Amino acid sequence: MEITIVGGGLVGSLAACIFGQKGHKVQLYESRPDPNSAAGKLLRGRSINLALSNRGRATLRRAGLEELVLSKAIPMRGRMLHGQNGSVKAVLYDPVANQVGATCQRSTPCIYSVSRRYLNELLLQEAAALPNVSVNFNCKLIDADAGKGLAKFRKKDDDSSEEETLVEKRSDLIIGADGAHSALRQTLLKRPMTNFSQKYIQHGYIELYIPATDKGEFALEKNHLHIWPRDRFMLIALPNLDGSFTVTLFMPFEIFDTLNTEEKVLTFFDGQFPDAVPLLGRKNLCHDFLTTKPSTLISISCCPMNGGKAVLVGDAAHAMVPFYGQGMNAGFEDILILEEIIPNSDLSSGAGVEKYLEQFSTARSSDAQAICELAMYNYEEMRHLVNQKSYYWRRMIDIGLNKLLGQVWTPLYTSVTFSATPYSKCIENKKWQDKVISKMYAYMTVAVGASVATYLVSRYQRESLTDLVVKWGREMLQQKL
């Protein structure tokens, strides 16, 4: 059938690869210029780093691109937590598989730091190389009629041109991969019974940079996601292939607003992230910090994700805050699920596509909602909970029970990041685990209480209960005095 893909970001371009490989006739429209053109090379684009994990890898594998991408990515075996006194502590995703000295296998629970720009260009290139896929840049969606499968674009005649042509395209399926501010979604929101929410959090972020050392080496331990958790805010760093780290500071806007001079910025960083300052470089840090406006973070939920012959995927349907590292992974997983739902027999006709899109939305909406919520929750975990003792107790229990019971007891982070378990099921499991653990505590309390009672009764068997309590109280007092 004929497929129109709106948006040539990560999810849209991978969708073009997957549906193109299946033999569909795919037209991809992207509002930005070709990244290889002069204008495209100037575009800075969004955050440079991505954390690729199992769900994203599964879709890349389907497109035959997993190995190529992983070969250009850096595995991260766990979190490296940086204390305020400069101390560091590694918290590995799987302490056994990731022990020091072990080689990082493709099956080892690792997440992969990969460059957004590299990955996007690769996917666009792979899509464009298919004979039945055509990629159109400088095309901005201005209207759509999902019922008719009609999409209208305004096409700039060339990168620098002000001249525009109107392009109308009718197809059997429109895939909206046009991001958090999706124009296709705007048209779907007018359909009745479409629920939608967009929520900005009161925290923003800016990107900073740790260059490679003079010897071209990594300035921090290479195979970790570095975190400086400080309760109300946090700094993170992800490795790049060239030995540098991309550093991101997440913080309430109200704190950003107060840091408006070099002196205040340095005082803040020296106090909070003393070990990071020399690596960032005081001059570059101040320059980057003071010349960058913090970016906003948005969470989007749209249900249903479909309407007529159109469907939303990725950020267009479920933009999330970046704290679970699942934005791209969830978007890629959308494509895998969509591709599995649309049967091969409809390859040519496009008949009944509405029905399959409904199935997709029914299957996917609650998971999309779930990962958006988890992402919001993980900000709390990353910047605050990891500073609490209870977090490590729970982690020890989780790891112990996981080793003992296997898949029956998969910790939340593991099931989200290293499995294909539906996100909503991951949350259900976590709730069940929480219940089991509080019951365990309750049983332990009862067991301890019963032991004490048994001892007391055996000791004071024939005395009355009131006397017993009074006597016990006296003894306690005497021991204390």
Please state, in angstroms and rounded to a whole number, the distance separating the CA atoms of residues 72 and 240: 9
Interacting positions 73-102 with a copy of itself (CB under 8 A): none
User: Of all helices (H) and strands (E), which one includes residue 355?
Assistant: helix 353-383
Identity (one letter) of the amino acid at 451? S
Maximum distance among all Cα pairs of the chain, rounded to whole angstroms: 101
CB of 465 to a copy of itself, least distance (A): 5
- 459 forms part of the interface with a copy of itself (CB under 8 A): no
Alpha helix positions (H), 320-352: 327-341
CB of 460 to a copy of itself, least distance (A): 12
- 472 forms part of the interface with a copy of itself (CB under 8 A): no
CB of 22 to a copy of itself, least distance (A): 35
Nearer to a copy of itself, 196 or 441 (CB): 196
Token code pair at residue 365: 């909406």
- 195 forms part of the interface with a copy of itself (CB under 8 A): yes
- 192 forms part of the interface with a copy of itself (CB under 8 A): yes
Interacting positions 196-225 with a copy of itself (CB under 8 A): 196-200
Neighbour tally for 174: CB within 10 Å: 32
Burial degree of 111 (CB within 10 A; 0-12, 13-18, 19+)? buried
Burial degree of 86 (CB within 10 A; 0-12, 13-18, 19+)? exposed
Selection from 3, 12, 17 nearest residue 32 by Cα: 12
CB of 197 to a copy of itself, least distance (A): 4
What are phi and psi for residue 205, nearest 5 degrees? -145, 155
CB of 206 to a copy of itself, least distance (A): 15
- 465 forms part of the interface with a copy of itself (CB under 8 A): yes
Residues 466, 477, 478, 481: which binds a copy of itself (CB under 8 A)?
A: 466
- 455 forms part of the interface with a copy of itself (CB under 8 A): no
CB of 443 to a copy of itself, least distance (A): 27
Please state, in angstroms and rounded to a whole number, the distance separating the CA atoms of residues 412 and 435: 14
Nearer to a copy of itself, 75 or 204 (CB): 204
CB of 297 to a copy of itself, least distance (A): 10
CB of 278 to a copy of itself, least distance (A): 34
R_g of the chain computed on alpha carbons: 27
- 461 forms part of the interface with a copy of itself (CB under 8 A): no
- 46 forms part of the interface with a copy of itself (CB under 8 A): no
Nearer to a copy of itself, 26 or 184 (CB): 184
Residues 85, 87, 163, 190: which binds a copy of itself (CB under 8 A)?
A: 190
Please state, in angstroms and rounded to a whole number, the distance separating the CA atoms of residues 80 and 235: 12
- 467 forms part of the interface with a copy of itself (CB under 8 A): yes
CB of 253 to a copy of itself, least distance (A): 9
Selection from 91, 86, 71 nearest residue 396 by Cα: 91
- 193 forms part of the interface with a copy of itself (CB under 8 A): yes
Nearer to a copy of itself, 53 or 299 (CB): 299
Choose one: 185-193, 275-283, 284-292, 332-340; the region binding a copy of itself (CB under 8 A). Answer: 185-193
CB of 202 to a copy of itself, least distance (A): 9
Per the CB < 8 A criterion, the answer to whether 294 and 253 are in contact is yes
Per the CB < 8 A criterion, the answer to whether 53 and 418 are in contact is yes
- Extended beta strands in 67-149, E state: 74-76, 78-82, 88-92, 111-115, 133-136, 139-145
Please state, in angstroms and rounded to a whole number, the distance separating the CA atoms of residues 375 and 205: 15
Quick note: the x/- pattern for a copy of itself over 143-172, rule CB under 8 A, is: ------------------------------
Please state, in angstroms and rounded to a whole number, the distance separating the CA atoms of residues 189 and 255: 35
Choose one: 13-21, 187-195, 243-251, 337-345; the region binding a copy of itself (CB under 8 A). Answer: 187-195
Distances (CA, A) of 395 to 73, 413, 426, 442: 27, 10, 16, 19
Residues 161, 213, 296, 348: which binds a copy of itself (CB under 8 A)?
A: 296
SS3 content of the chain, % helix, strand, coil (to 5): 45, 20, 30
Residues 46, 72, 170, 181: which binds a copy of itself (CB under 8 A)?
A: 181
- 292 forms part of the interface with a copy of itself (CB under 8 A): no
CB of 196 to a copy of itself, least distance (A): 5
Nearer to a copy of itself, 190 or 283 (CB): 190
- Provide the total of helices (H) and of strands (E) in the chain, helices listed first: 17, 20
Binding site for a copy of itself (CB under 8 A): 181, 186, 189-190, 192-200, 296, 464-467
